[in-house]
Structure 1
Amino acid sequence: MPVFKAPFNGYAVKFSPFFEQRLAVATSQNFGILGNGRLHVLDLSPAGPISQFAAFDTPDGVYDLAWFESHNSLLVAAVPDGSVKLYDLSLPPTANPVRSLHEHTHETHSVDYNPVRRDSFITSTWDDTIKL
């Protein structure tokens, strides 16, 4: 069985809705309490090892993520600083995140993309709010 060893603790893993072999992994250092994080995008191969397609370092951990179902290279990530960050895999890592939305006063714990209305996502946080 292929294995990928992340440098930080894993929080979420999601398959791409476009590529059956691609997945994204949200990780956080020190169990998300303190430290950095990394968003990994991995490619699976039934015959070989798991390879890293892209990685995005963050000054805070990454608790959750969601793939945009309207565009094959966009990901949104929930981050402990109360923000959600938008990543574009078609751009180099230094150009990411392409957008950072600071909408919450506490840790953003989860995010999910709306598969029916493809222009929105929802977040929940430790400030007791849910935002669309």
Structure 2
Amino acid sequence: MVKVYRSPARHGYSVKVSPFIPNRLACAASQYYGIAGEFSTFYTVQTPWEWSDGLFDVSWSESNEHVLVAGGGDGSLQLWDSTNHSPLRVAKEHTQEVYAVDWSQTRGENLIVSASWDQTAKVWDPGLQCLSTFRGHEGVIYSSIWSPHIPGCFATASGDGTLRVWDVKSGLCRLAVPAHKTEILSCDWCKYDQNLLATGSVDCSVRVWDLRNVREPVSQLQGHSYAIRRLKFSPFHKTVLASCSYDFTVRFWDFSLPQPLLETVEHHSEFVCGLDFNLHILNQVVDCAWDETVKIYTPACLPAVGV
């Protein structure tokens, strides 16, 4: 069964399930497909909040169930409390669109990382004070994600075709991987192995990388017919991941299998841009698309995979 939420005239870019509450989600969306327009919104279930520009990503706090951060087309980050309809704080240090935000998950750490079209990533404290800026990419940064294993470590994916791993303490890029020959739109860390990351590219492929040897990918997953907009490792199985694409589909993979494609879900009529697993409910997935819908479901393939 698929549960559907509709956001009229708002086109979804990112959706995230609360780490505290199983049935609470937030969706970053934009009017006019994020190209233009005065209004955009993200919401927890059906409570809309409005911002004056497109919103491209959202992330829940890992320490406060009511707090989220969103990244906007005006170069701003906004800190929101779900009990209020205006942001607690707004920071605008990026000079172009903020396309990715992520809240750290490692114990004892409470940091935000953002990635922007201005080719920089920035690390912030929970009050949106910028702590450091990271430069090195030669193209738009589309994705930034904290390591769930290593404190002070995050990865970025860029239009320059590289995956980079950064160390907050030293301020240095520890590893630059020429992962694709085309733009990389998304990256994610494996929840079970600190050395495994995946990248999704305009070349329609997902590649899984072992950071101990990046000369060749561990696996290359082919099947999408257009660019891969976002990918997520499963929190329930080491070798399972999901990807969504501009080809209107969500695909589920197990890269340990000879035939890794498990299932193709075709329930959207526009670009699928947002994707997340529900940590609280085994194998439940949530996605969002430019067709103004958010969908919650359990793919038929996943219960057979196991935990």
From 42, 48, 55, the equivalent of 1:39 is 42
Cα offset, 1:61, TM superposition: 1.1
2:75 pairs with 1:73: no
Partner SS for 1:87: strand
Distance 2:102 2:4 in 1: 26
Matches within 5 A, 1:1-132: 1-7=2-8, 8-35=10-37, 36-42=39-45, 52=46, 54-90=47-83, 92-93=84-85, 96-116=86-106, 117-132=108-123
| Residues 1:41 and 1:118: Cα distance change in structure 2 (over 3 Å) | farther
Cα offset, 1:3, TM superposition: 1.3
Q: Which runs of 4+ in 1 moved over 4 A?
A: none
Per the normalisation by structure 2, the TM-score is: 0.38
Per the normalisation by structure 1, the TM-score is: 0.86
- Structure 1, unmatched stretches of 5+, are 43-51
Q: Kindly tell me the number of residue pairs found equivalent between the two proteins.
A: 119
Contact 2:98 2:117 in 1 (8 A): yes
Contact 1:68 1:118 in 2 (8 A): no
* CA-to-aligned-CA distance 1:40-74 (integer Å, 9 cap, x gap): 111xxxxxxxxx1x221111011000000100000
Contact 2:13 2:27 in 1 (8 A): yes
* CA-to-aligned-CA distance 1:25-49 (integer Å, 9 cap, x gap): 111011111112101111xxxxxxx
Distance 1:83 1:89 in 2: 18
Partner SS for 1:31: helix
Partner SS for 1:60: coil
Which fold has the larger relative contact order, with Cα–Cα distance below 8 Å and residues 6 or more apart in sequence?
1
Aligned Cα RMSD in Å?
1.0
Q: Which amino acid aligns with 1:24?
A: A
Contact 1:83 1:100 in 2 (8 A): yes
Partner SS for 1:3: strand
Percent identical across equivalent pairs?
A: 38
Distance 1:118 1:56 in 2: 28
Q: Which amino acid aligns with 2:15?
A: V
Contact 1:70 1:118 in 2 (8 A): no
Contact 1:24 1:41 in 2 (8 A): yes
Cα offset, 1:9, TM superposition: 0.4
Contact 2:62 2:110 in 1 (8 A): no
Distance 2:19 2:109 in 1: 13
Distance 2:51 2:94 in 1: 18
Partner SS for 1:109: strand
